[in-house]
Amino acid sequence: MLDIKFIREHKDFIKEAARKKRISFDVEALVDIDEKRKSILTSIENKKAEQNKCSLFIANPQHLGSSYQKQELIEKMTVLKTEMKKEEEELTEVMKVWHDLMLQVPNIPDMSVPEGESENDNQELRTWGDIPAFSFTPKNHIELCEMYDLADFERGAKISGFRGYVLKGAGAQLEFAVWQYVMNFMVNRGYNPMIVPSLVRRETLMGTGYLPQGEDDLYKTQDDEYLAGTGEVATMSYYAGEVLDKKDLPKKMVAFSPCFRREAGSHSRDTKGLIRVHEFFKLEQVILCEASHTLSVDFHEELLKNTEDIMQELGIPYRVILMCTADIGLGHVKKYDIEAWVPSQNTYRETHSASYFHDFQARRLNIRYKDDEGKLRFVHSLNNTAIATPRVLVAILENYQQEDGSIKIPDVLKPYMNGIEIIK
């Protein structure tokens, strides 16, 4: 959500942002309804002032020349009350439209974000690591999981349906090892560890920008609550409605949570295995900082570096992608994707997303701080995946497979594997 004053004064910026993001949005309709909102509010305030003036005269009869004047004022107040009630009812309806349109206003992408029509226009910034040159035909992660009883997809589907899975044995230990390693890594870099809920209220998803546009990909309960698809939702909402001390900024958090996505519209993609599942786990990096574009840019690069360092320590080849305007969300200012090399598919697959939003989310969630002049400002927010499992296991298992069929454990994970250094 952007400041309505900024929107009114910079309509061309909003129109251009919508065009670049390939989003259909009528900023003129918002400005028109805002004028109507302001007009009704002004009228109501004027009537309240007139009503207060009448009340003052009635309460002090010495100001009245006759009882007739008193009766006249009482009748006037009755008329004012009736008109105010009608306008307040109209304002309620106007505010519904106004609020709905405000939630559709796209954030303005950074000038460094390339313009594009689709994901095909995203730009590769760099790659890291040597693509493994196997002297044999590499197996895919499903074959490796079945060979060493690391996962059970048939029973997983029996238990939870399509895309269900059960990690077991060394597969389960490997996932725990990844969580422990990444959590320790992030804590050592000064991030506050949290375990946050997956079950969230609608307001938390609205605040982070996942609603109303992303409703189709969310699971909803019979109590009108939702299962979040990322720990960012609950972590951002932790400070909703609060005023933070500037001296406590930035807030750096790493949050663990189960995550759920319906994967709506992707039923024919990655139907087997661990790449695209309905239930998974994430360690999410979240930063709240002062309202400074320079700080947002710096922290965005910090979040990206954290992830690159993790991938390098894991020894997984990857590339960094700068997302084009058509492939970033409504609230994003800029976004990177990090994609891990998957040998069996001979391509990179997305494993992390690093984004910053300026005050887009903070306005929705009403997270503020007082600056040095005592003025209330909305914080800026950023996030990036630290690690997402089980998807990253795909890259680990496939890149570390050996000619004899065994699978090495990355060195940084060995301390968490209860003595297992190789799966064979």
Report pLDDT digits (tens) over 303-314.
Answer: 999 999 999 999
Active site (annotated) includes residue 290: no
Mean pLDDT check: name the lowest of 58-62, 134-138, 404-408.
58-62
pLDDT at residue 223, as a whole number: 93
> Is 223 buried (19+), middle (13-18) or exposed (0-12) by CB count in 10 A?
exposed
Q: Which of 262, 276, 319, 349 is catalytic?
A: 276
Predicted TM-score (pTM) of the model is 0.91
Helices 11-20 and 27-59, packing angle to 10 deg? 140
Q: Which of 257, 296, 344, 353 is catalytic?
A: 353
- What does DSSP say about strands 251-260 and 192-195: parallel, antiparallel, or unpaired? parallel
Q: Which of 225, 290, 302, 350 is catalytic?
A: 350
Give the chain's length: 424
Report pLDDT digits (tens) over 77-125.
Answer: 788 888 889 999 999 999 999 999 999 999 999 999 999 999 999 999 9
Q: Which of 261, 363, 364, 368 is catalytic?
A: 261
Domain coordinates in residue numbering, the chain: 4-102, 119-423
Contact 298, 280 (CB under 8 A): no
CA distance linking residue 88 with residue 322, whole number of Å: 47
Report pLDDT digits (tens) over 258-279.
Answer: 999 998 766 667 768 899 999 9
Report pLDDT digits (tens) over 164-205.
Answer: 999 999 999 999 999 999 999 999 999 999 999 999 999 999
Active site (annotated) includes residue 75: no
What's the mean per-residue pLDDT of the chain? 93
Task: Tell me the CATH architecture of domain 119-423.
Answer: 2-Layer Sandwich (3.30)
Alpha helices (H) along 60-117: 67-102
Checking if the pLDDT of 346 tops 60, the result is: yes
Between the alpha carbon of residue 51 and those of residues 40, 42, 81, 120, the distances in Å are 16, 14, 8, 62
For 4-102, give the CATH class: mainly alpha
CA distance linking residue 15 with residue 29, whole number of Å: 12
Contacts of 195 (CB under 8 A, 6+ apart): 255, 256, 257
Active site (annotated) includes residue 201: no
Active site (annotated) includes residue 353: yes
Report pLDDT digits (tens) over 203-216.
Answer: 999 999 998 888 88
Active site (annotated) includes residue 24: no
